[in-house]
Structures are given as structure tokens and as C-alpha cells.
């Protein structure tokens, strides 16, 4: 291995270490911000997100059903 190859690999490693540190910091910051919701791990956060998504989808389904009911109560052709 020549010096240029060594320097090229070393630079790639340094870049990856920097990216890893940024990702770690972002993850820690994210976990810190969700602690107010009683979440302390990534797994708990994922579970909470899944639960909230289910609730969101259920509410959207209800809204759609109520909207369809309202449409049925009105004669939109006269409006």
C-alpha cells in the first residue's frame, strides 16, 4: 500500500467517524426530546409511533365515514 492509498482510506475513515458521531448526537437529542412523553428507548419510541399511527388512521376512517354520511344528508345537486 502506498502513501496515497493510505491517506485516502484514512480520510474515508475520518469522514465515517464524523458521520457516526453526528448520527449518535441526533439519536441522543431525539431521545432526550421524547422523554417528556415517558419514552426512554428507541423501541419505546417506535411502539409509540405505531400506536399514534393506528389512532391517526382510525380517526381518519371515522372522519371519512362521517363525511360520507353528511354527503348523503345533503342534496348537493341543488347547492
Q: Which range of residues forms the domain containing residue 74?
A: 41-79
pLDDT for residue 78 is more than 80 = no
pTM of the shown model: 0.55
Task: Note whether 23 and 48 are same-domain residues.
Answer: no
pLDDT at 56: 95
Cell 400506536 belongs to which residue? 51
Count structural domains, the chain: 2
pLDDT tens-digit map of 16-62: 999 999 999 998 888 888 888 888 888 888 898 899 999 999 999 99
Longest C-alpha distance within the chain, in Å?
Answer: 83
Task: Note whether 33 and 47 are same-domain residues.
Answer: no
Is residue 48 packed enough to be buried (19+ CB in 10 Å), middle (13-18) or exposed (0-12)? middle
Task: Note whether 12 and 29 are same-domain residues.
Answer: yes
Task: Note whether 29 and 51 are same-domain residues.
Answer: no
Task: Summarize the confidence of residues 64-71 as an average pLDDT.
Answer: 85
SS (H, E, C) 25-78: HHHHHHHHHHHHHCCCCHHHHHHHHHHHHHHHHHHHHHHHHHHHHHHHHCCHHH
Amino acid at each position: 500500500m502506498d502513501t496515497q492509498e493510505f491517506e485516502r482510506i484514512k480520510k474515508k475513515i475520518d469522514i465515517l467517524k464524523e458521520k457516526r458521531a453526528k448520527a449518535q448526537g441526533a439519536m441522543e437529542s431525539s431521545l432526550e426530546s421524547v422523554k417528556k412523553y415517558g419514552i426512554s428507548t428507541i423501541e419505546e419510541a417506535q411502539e409509540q409511533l405505531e400506536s399514534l399511527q393506528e389512532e391517526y388512521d382510525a380517526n381518519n376512517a371515522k372522519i371519512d365515514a362521517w363525511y360520507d354520511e353528511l354527503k348523503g344528508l345533503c342534496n348537493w345537486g341543488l347547492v
